[in-house]
Amino acid sequence: MSIAAAIAETADEGPKGPPPKRRGRFIPYLLMLPGALWLGIFFLVPLVTLFLTSLQTPVAGGDVGQFEQTFNFANYPETLTDPNYYVPLFRSFLYSASATILALLIGYPLAYGIAFKAGRFRNVLLVMVIAPFFVSFILRTIAWRQILADEGPVVAVLRVIGLVGPTGGVYPSAIAVVAGLTYNFLPFMTLPIYASLERVDHRLVEAAGDLYASPWTGFRKVTLPLSMPGVVAGTLLTFIPAAGDYVNAALLGTPKNTMIGNRIEFTFLSVNDYPTAAVLSFILMASILIMVLLYVRRVGTEDLV
């Protein structure tokens, strides 16, 4: 059979019907079903309930803690313009941003040393980083009350170098709150940075040296950019929970150091003003979400956006 005849015979055959259906195309969706149900039941439903609670108003002539659904969106501007609420919100972001910066300044050199200089002690140092998680969050914070007390070692050193007067101290104060936040969330900063640094190809650093780059230039041009995914992840993992924290402010601060988490807890459990507490919760979540989106778009990397 000639080539032309074979082509003609193939053309005469025409289509043989639709292609067979792919097997198992629903398997990925079935695998996602348990996680989707979990998020729907324990995240979306409480979130919708909280939002509906934020639109309630007190029952006229009712007892304390009785509210009715009136879809009163005025609860949001009324809460935002009350200094009893927006001042703690601003203070929360100030404290959490300060703790995030301090954690980055401490965590990056620590992660760098573990990744590049620790050698056979790397695993031991990593265990030491995560070891605080073996102790209760509250117990660790209470321990800082003893460390920062007037008779503690920190104040003694500060008095020797002249940063604190003979009768001065750092507990309770805003400094103590930021110190507690930095300590408690430091592992969340260190571990992501270490994970990024551990993946850096050492040959790139050596190549920078072969091209007559100084150690600082090699770090700035090679190591730091390659570790930015870890820096971004670490700052987010530190800032987000620190902004909503209330344990450190309650145990290490004064009433003047109240954060928005303390205000939400007090409004929910002591005042029984559920709509206002729900409004504060949503404002906190929305503020953090906007900040995170702006931050990731500004300094994020291709691994995160």
Q: What is the mean pLDDT of the chain?
A: 86
Residue 270 pLDDT > 50, yes or no? yes
CB-CB contact of 55 with 70 (8 Å): yes
Q: How far apart are CA 223 and CA 216, in angstroms?
A: 10
| Closest CA relative to residue 260, chosen from 138, 141, 90 | 90
Determine the pLDDT at residue 13: 53
Q: Where are the domains of the chain?
A: 75-299
Q: What is the third-level CATH fold of 75-299?
A: MetI-like fold (1.10.3720)
- Judged against a pLDDT cut of 80, whether residue 210 lies above it is answered with no
What pLDDT, on a 0 to 100 scale, did the predictor assign at position 25? 78
Residues contacting 56, CB < 8 A, separation 6+: 67, 68, 69, 70, 72, 274, 275
What pLDDT sits at residue 301?
Answer: 55
**Tell me, what's the pLDDT at 22?**
61
The whole-model pTM stands at 0.84
